[in-house]
């Protein structure tokens, strides 16, 4: 049924489809629906505390016995740079003034913790079948402990060099994240978004460079993309944007409306919302302040100073200061439930593969 069964066999699932972990945009409800359809649901843990991760795991376990994936960030937290924060606020001052907001008010903290001891203990306790990391990998000690639980470990590569590194470190499969992908680039050795390849170029080159299974990510929203991923040498796909169109998605109404708006298909990579490059639908702050700004404080803090602007704008129905994450293939998506979407992607991919022969 699938031309390359390496990934579905590695993690014991029916469909070669990973629902992308989308921090802030999905919780256990989506995971359960995807898993029950035969795909691999992913719980993004980067914005959750340990208690919440625990309750989410319990919720998943209660409702499905299928394998699922827990996802963590592995960024290196940086010291606060007061000068940069000041320059960033200065850059945003015109918007504070326009909104009648107090620019001298303290910036709220942004809670995106990298994978740590506490989360590792949860993995040791609950032993999920799959762990995926973003922005590289945790340190060797933590990696070894995750490894020892018997779970399969994935991480994202935006270049061939990153893919080779991840294989050397012991990853069981590698997500080749092409330039089309929505949300944050998983880049950790590369820092040049201008030279990171698109999915079409990256997948076959990563497949040639590593011996572990490759998962294609970026621009895949329908059966054609799944079939193309197999053609390029992948043994599975990771799909994010299409799941934003499900009722299980936690995105705001404004975000949903932007994704559905006619002709609104322009996306860019921007660092203004977090400090790291991520792809989203183009809006005012990206256009006027970015899309890439050298003033944006280091990940994850850039969003702090935007938060009051975002809150006030959203209250009046404007997404001018909101991150509207999206890959480049949003126009290929349709609204339906996460379980139905997963099932249909699987069925139509089989049909598409048959059409090709």
Report the residue number, 154 or 228, with the smaller CB distance to a second copy: 228
Q: How far is CA 108 from CA 23, 61, 102, 264, in A?
A: 18, 34, 13, 31
Residue 244 lies near a second copy (rule: CB under 8 A)? no
Site for a second copy in 172-211 (CB under 8 A): 178-180, 192, 194-195, 197-202, 204-205, 208
The DSSP annotation for 271-285 comes to -TTTSS-EEEE--HH
Binding range to a second copy, per CB under 8 A, among 49-57, 75-83, 131-139, 213-221: 213-221
Residue 160 lies near a second copy (rule: CB under 8 A)? yes
What is the smallest separation between the CB atom of 267 and a second copy, expressed in angstroms? 6
Site for a second copy in 51-90 (CB under 8 A): none
What is the smallest separation between the CB atom of 146 and a second copy, expressed in angstroms? 31
Residue 260 lies near a second copy (rule: CB under 8 A)? no
Q: Are 164 and 144 in contact (CB under 8 A)?
A: no
Binding range to a second copy, per CB under 8 A, among 52-60, 132-140, 301-309, 348-356: 348-356
Please select the residue that binds a second copy; options are 149, 332, 336, 337, rule is CB under 8 A.
332
Report the residue number, 43 or 214, with the smaller CB distance to a second copy: 214
Whether the upstream peptide bond of residue 110 has omega within 30° of 0, thus cis, is no
Residue 284 lies near a second copy (rule: CB under 8 A)? no
Residue 232 lies near a second copy (rule: CB under 8 A)? yes
Tokens matching residue 226: 């799944």
What is the smallest separation between the CB atom of 226 and a second copy, expressed in angstroms? 8
What is the smallest separation between the CB atom of 220 and a second copy, expressed in angstroms? 7
Q: Are 216 and 232 in contact (CB under 8 A)?
A: yes
Buried b (16+ CB within 10 A) or exposed e, 227-238: bbbbebbbbbbb
The DSSP annotation for 331-342 comes to GG-----HHHHH
**Residue among 55, 71, 53 at smallest CA distance from 63:** 55
Site for a second copy in 288-307 (CB under 8 A): 291
Q: Are 74 and 188 in contact (CB under 8 A)?
A: yes
Please select the residue that binds a second copy; options are 47, 50, 101, 268, rule is CB under 8 A.
268
- How far apart (Å, rounded) are the C-alpha atoms in residues 191 and 202? 16
What is the smallest separation between the CB atom of 349 and a second copy, expressed in angstroms? 10
User: How many residues make contact with a second copy (CB under 8 A)?
Assistant: 48
What is the smallest separation between the CB atom of 224 and a second copy, expressed in angstroms? 5
H or E element in which residue 10 lies: helix 6-11
Contacts 24+ apart (CB under 8 A), 187-191: 187/135, 187/158, 187/159, 187/162, 187/277, 188/74, 188/135, 188/136, 188/162, 189/136, 189/159, 189/161, 189/162, 189/165, 190/158, 190/159, 190/161, 190/162
DSSP state of 330: G
Report the residue number, 110 or 259, with the smaller CB distance to a second copy: 259
Residue 346 lies near a second copy (rule: CB under 8 A)? no
Tokens matching residue 180: 């089309």
What is the smallest separation between the CB atom of 103 and a second copy, expressed in angstroms? 29
Report the residue number, 178 or 346, with the smaller CB distance to a second copy: 178
* Residue 198 CA neighbour count, 13 Å, CB half: 7
Residue ranges binding a second copy (CB under 8 A) = 3, 160, 178-180, 192, 194-195, 197-202, 204-205, 208, 218-220, 222, 224-225, 227-233, 265-269, 282, 291, 327-329, 331-332, 352-357
């Amino acid at each position: 049924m699938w031309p390359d069964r390496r990934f579905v066999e590695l993690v014991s699932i029916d469909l070669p489809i990973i629902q992308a972990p989308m921090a802030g945009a999905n919780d256990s409800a989506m995971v359960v629906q995807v898993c029950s359809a035969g795909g691999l649901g992913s719980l993004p843990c980067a914005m959750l505390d340990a208690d919440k991760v625990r309750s989410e795991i319990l919720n998943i376990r209660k409702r499905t016995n299928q394998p699922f994936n827990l996802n963590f960030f592995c960024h290196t937290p940086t010291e606060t740079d007061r000068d940069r924060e000041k320059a960033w606020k200065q850059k945003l001052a015109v918007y504070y003034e326009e909104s009648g907001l107090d620019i001298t008010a303290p910036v709220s903290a942004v809670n995106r913790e990298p994978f740590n001891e506490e989360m590792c203990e949860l993995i040791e306790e609950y032993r999920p079948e799959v762990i995926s990391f973003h922005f590289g990998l945790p340190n060797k000690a933590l990696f070894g402990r995750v490894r020892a639980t018997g779970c399969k470990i994935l991480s994202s590569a935006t270049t061939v060099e990153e893919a080779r590194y991840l294989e050397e470190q012991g990853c069981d499969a590698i997500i080749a994240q092409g330039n089309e992908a929505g949300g944050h680039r998983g880049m950790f050795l590369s820092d040049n978004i201008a030279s990171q390849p698109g999915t079409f170029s990256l997948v076959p080159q990563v497949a040639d460079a590593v011996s572990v299974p490759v998962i294609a990510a970026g621009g895949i929203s329908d059966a054609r993309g799944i079939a193309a991923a197999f053609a390029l040498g992948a043994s599975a796909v990771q799909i994010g944007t299409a799941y934003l169109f499900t009722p299980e998605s936690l995105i705001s109404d404004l975000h949903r409306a932007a994704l559905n708006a006619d002709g609104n298909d322009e996306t860019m990579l921007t660092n203004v919302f977090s400090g790291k490059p991520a792809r989203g639908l183009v809006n005012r702050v990206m256009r006027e302040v970015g899309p890439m700004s050298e003033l944006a404080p280091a990940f994850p803090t850039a969003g702090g100073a935007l938060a009051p602007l975002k809150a006030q704008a959203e209250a009046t129905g404007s997404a001018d200061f909101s991150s509207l994450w999206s890959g480049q293939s949003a126009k290929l998506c349709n609204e339906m439930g996460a379980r139905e979407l997963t099932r249909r992607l699987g069925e139509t991919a089989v049909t598409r593969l048959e059409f090709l022969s």
